[in-house]
Structures are given as structure tokens and as C-alpha cells.
Amino acid sequence: IPAREVGGDFFNYFALADGRMALLVGDVSGKGVGAAILMANVQATLRARIPLEPDLPSLVDAVDRDVAANTPPEVYLTLFVGILDAERRQLRYVNGGHNTQFVVRRGGVIDPLDATGLPVGLLPGRGYEERTVQVDSGDLLFLYTDGAVEVENEAGDMFGAERLQRALGDAADSDVTQVLSSVEAEIRTFRGSTEPSDDATMMALRIS
């Protein structure tokens, strides 16, 4: 959901040749056309490189250096890149300065997918760490950008990650469409008449 006509958030998911699934969520600093152009370029680069580069830290490090070399110093992005292996029930990921993403277990228990490096293009060359988490049938992967949690209400209070986690816990066993609808409804109710100041993106995937 863009805060203006165009936004700098992006998400994508696509199957790799070996059956694994690539998952992308990112947020470019700033808004408008400039952020949207960088968003499109980064997304195209990742889609082209992921099938050729099995090492996620090396992949994100290369994008980190590319962004820093070809954009103004104040431009950067947060980025979550994951590779889901459904057969092995395993998610490998790199989180470049992005919000903590979530694995929602059956019954509403939530495991965090924390940052494993700095935002991409901010201070290039610092490197990234890959982490692996096991997932089970029925688990939900919930990926989002900061516009979903930094939205404010009329009193200036922020929705925040804790409210998001409570909403996810309440909707944990619903189907994916209902999870997204429930969380969006919670955010809209909290926001009230306040206009959003940032793009917001949410993506949910159920392990079956």
C-alpha cells in the first residue's frame, strides 16, 4: 500500500529451478519515483542473481556495494532475502537492516527473524550473516515493511511490533487471506483518521 502514488516498498516470491522458493521484502529510503526506480532495479538484480549465487551473504554483499556505488549517500534500503526449502522444512535468510520478520507457529507462538547485517548501501562492505530456521507444516511466515508498524493514530501513538505480534497470534490458525485481512483491519482501526506517512507491505506464506 503506497503512501503516495508510487512507493519504495517491494516484495516478491518465485520458484527456483530445484523447487525451492525465493522470498524478498525490501524498503527503499525515501518515497516517490526515485525510491520506486531503485526498488525496481534492486528487485530485478536479485531475481537475476539468486539462481546463480547460492551463498546469500555474498549475494546481499554484492548488492550492498552496487547500491552504495551507484546512488547518493543518503539512499539505502532494508532487505530481507530468504530461500525456503519446503522438503527439508528449512528457511535460510539474510536480513539486511530490515524489521524483525516472524515465523508464527501453530497455536500462536512467534519466532523472530532478526537483522543479520546493516541496511543495504548504508555502510558498504560490513558483511552479512546467514541464519537458518526450521519450519513445520502449518507454520506461517509473515514478512512486512516498517510502514505496517510505524503507523500512528490520532494521539501520535505508534502501532508497533508488539501489537502486530498480538494480531498475528490471534489470527495464527486462520488461512493466509484471513491473516492478512485481520492484521490490516487492526492497523486501520488503530490508525483511525490519520493518513499513513509511509508505504506498508505485508506478505504471508503458509507451510503445507
3-class SS of residue 124: coil
Beta strand residue intervals within 31-130, DSSP E:
77-85, 90-96, 101-104, 110-113
Name 89's Cβ contacts closer than 8 Å, sequence gap at least 6: 134, 135, 136, 137, 207
State yes or no: pLDDT of 6 exceeds 70. no
The model's pLDDT over 99-113, given as tens digits with 9 standing for 90+, comes to 999 999 988 899 999
State yes or no: pLDDT of 190 exceeds 90. yes
Q: State percent of the chain over pLDDT 90.
A: 78
The model's pLDDT over 155-186, given as tens digits with 9 standing for 90+, comes to 999 999 999 999 999 888 899 999 999 999 99
pTM across the whole model = 0.94
User: Whose grid coordinates read 547460492?
Assistant: 54
